[in-house]
Amino acid sequence: MNTDIKTATEHIARLINAYHLRGKNAPVEGLIEMRIKLSTLVFYVAGVEADAYEDFVTAEYNRKSKFIESKEYYVKSGESVAKAETMAEAGIITERKAETQADAIHKRLQLIRLAAKEVLDCLNQHISNIKSEKRLEMTGQGSQHFPAT
């Protein structure tokens, strides 16, 4: 995996871990700063994910086109269709490997982005709740709990 994206995913992991450890007690300003950093990293990962998907589609196309070309060559050389397909399949191992690797990278980036987005959504809700509580406290409707009578 590209060094830049590895660094970005490690940074996402550190931010999420920091939120996990300090989230409940962190000041809202710290949470907002965390949200800004996480949202920009999620955006960056989405761009890299799109590039990875393009690489996957290209690898898939290369595999399929080489298979068809090889199959046609073997059929024209007098082989049966079944044997031509088997021989063509044997000739695309490198392309299949490249396709599988590109798909794995794309899926990994997708999972990281979706998981980070879930944490970002949670962080947004957390910030919103803190702001609402502060607003209620300022108007005298704070979160004080009185015993039921």
* pLDDT digits 0-9 by tens, 58-69: 999 999 999 999
- Residue pair 34/19 in contact by the 8 Å Cβ criterion: yes
- Cα separation, 103 vs 108, in Å, equals 9
- Cα separation, 52 vs 146, in Å, equals 56
* pLDDT digits 0-9 by tens, 25-58: 888 999 999 999 999 999 999 999 999 999 999 9
- Cα separation, 98 vs 66, in Å, equals 13
- Cα separation, 52 vs 8, in Å, equals 15
* pLDDT digits 0-9 by tens, 94-144: 999 999 999 999 999 999 999 999 999 999 999 999 998 888 888 876 555
Neighbours of 41 (CB within 10 A): 20
Burial 83-110 (b: 16+ CB within 10 A, else e): ebbebbeebbeebbebbeebbebbeebe
Q: CA dist 79 to 12, 64, 74, 88, 108, Å?
A: 54, 20, 6, 11, 41
Which pTM value belongs to this model? 0.79
- Residue pair 8/40 in contact by the 8 Å Cβ criterion: no
